[in-house]
Amino acid sequence: MDNQQEVREFLTSRRAKITPEQAGLPSGTRRRVPGLRRSEVAALADMSVEYYAKLERGNLAGVSPAVLEAVARALRLDEAERAHLLHLAQAADGSDVLTRPRRRRATRQWTPHRSLQWTLDAITAGPAFVRNGRMDVLAANPLARAFYSDVYAAPGNQANLARFTFLDPASRRFYPDWDLAADVTVAILRTEAGRNPHDRDLHDLVGELSTRDDAFRTRWGAHNVRHHGTGTKRFHHHAVGELTLAFEGLEMAAEPGLTLTIYTAEPGSPSEEGLRLLASWAATQEADAATRRVQGS
């Protein structure tokens, strides 16, 4: 991805989101742009307009952490947005030390080690799975495979949650709050793009989704990022119905860039019973599949 363009569009989009009132500035009467003017951001960050304009044109190479922090404060960036700005600056520094543009890094093939799969399989009360920043499901326990049965069943999907969200009609049923799920999905991909700008598979995925789906393309252009570590989501599984599940996302120290996510239901809730039904349904599906394999051999 073009680092300067990414920086330019990210900073411009953040500036457009801050109103003068939020920044403690007079709103005035003749504003031609949404949000703050460049001169106002420069004043809030205690730098010249010319220097801030240079930053907003995408020139972050060599910029000090203190300057980045000043810009972050002026634009009221949250933790995820601050981290994204830092990643963009790091990518700018990396591109400057080379005499030619860096090649997009090919994705390393990854297979879960046995102890990780044992750990996932030991979690029996809720879906547990490992994903990367492109939202490929790389490993899962039996309950997660049943939970995401629509994702695994989609032809050509390759167990990718982003592709499922935007290209599979089943996602509109699976995610009752589809707009929220779509926003989160794109924000995760945008965060990964800042952290790993030379990921060839990520480039290809974003290109595919941008070409094939207007909803994705619009959200991608918003440059929103977020950390997605904990919360509650609603789902509608085709076999067991409505589920309201809490989740925890854990960064894997032994596998940088990968996240272990575990979904659980409130004890005693209808959703806890729904997960028990899902486990029973999954066991029945596996038994039927085993019978078919025996009969076909």
pLDDT band at residue 1 using 50, 70 and 90 as cut-offs: low
- The reported pLDDT for the residue numbered 31 is 73
pLDDT at 94 over 90: no
Domains 3-96 and 114-176+227-296 share a fold: no
pTM: 0.84
- pLDDT tens-digit series, residues 228-250: 889 999 999 999 999 999 999 99
- Per the model's pLDDT, the better-predicted residue between 225 and 158 turns out to be 225
Judged by DSSP in three states, 53 sits in helix
- The reported pLDDT for the residue numbered 215 is 97
pLDDT band at residue 3 using 50, 70 and 90 as cut-offs: confident
- The reported pLDDT for the residue numbered 29 is 61
Domain-wise residue ranges, the chain:
3-96, 114-176+227-296
Cβ atoms of residues 210 and 216 within 8 Å: yes
C-alpha–C-alpha distance, residues 75 and 17, integer Å: 9
**Residue linked to tokens 């790993």:** 196
pLDDT at 292 over 90: no
Cβ-based neighbour number of residue 266 at 10 Å: 12
C-alpha–C-alpha distance, residues 2 and 57, integer Å: 12
Query: Residues 243-267: what's their mean pLDDT?
Result: 94
DSSP 240: T
pLDDT at 288 over 60: yes
pLDDT at 80 over 80: yes
**Chain-wide mean pLDDT for the chain?**
89
- pLDDT tens-digit series, residues 206-222: 999 999 999 999 999 99
C-alpha–C-alpha distance, residues 78 and 260, integer Å: 23
- The reported pLDDT for the residue numbered 98 is 32
CATH number for the segment(s) 3-96: 1.10.260.40
CATH 3.30.450.180 fits 114-176+227-296, yes or no: yes
pLDDT band at residue 297 using 50, 70 and 90 as cut-offs: low
Cβ atoms of residues 11 and 194 within 8 Å: no
- Per the model's pLDDT, the better-predicted residue between 98 and 51 turns out to be 51
- Per the model's pLDDT, the better-predicted residue between 99 and 180 turns out to be 180
Q: Which backbone phi and psi does 158 adopt, to 5 degrees?
A: 60, 35
- pLDDT tens-digit series, residues 137-179: 999 999 999 999 999 998 777 899 999 999 999 999 999 999 9
Using alpha carbons only, give the angle 36, 55, 203 rounded to the nearest 5 degrees: 100
Among 61-70, 78-87, 96-105, 150-159, the minimum mean pLDDT is found in: 96-105
- pLDDT tens-digit series, residues 16-42: 999 888 888 887 667 777 789 999 999
pLDDT at 99 over 50: no
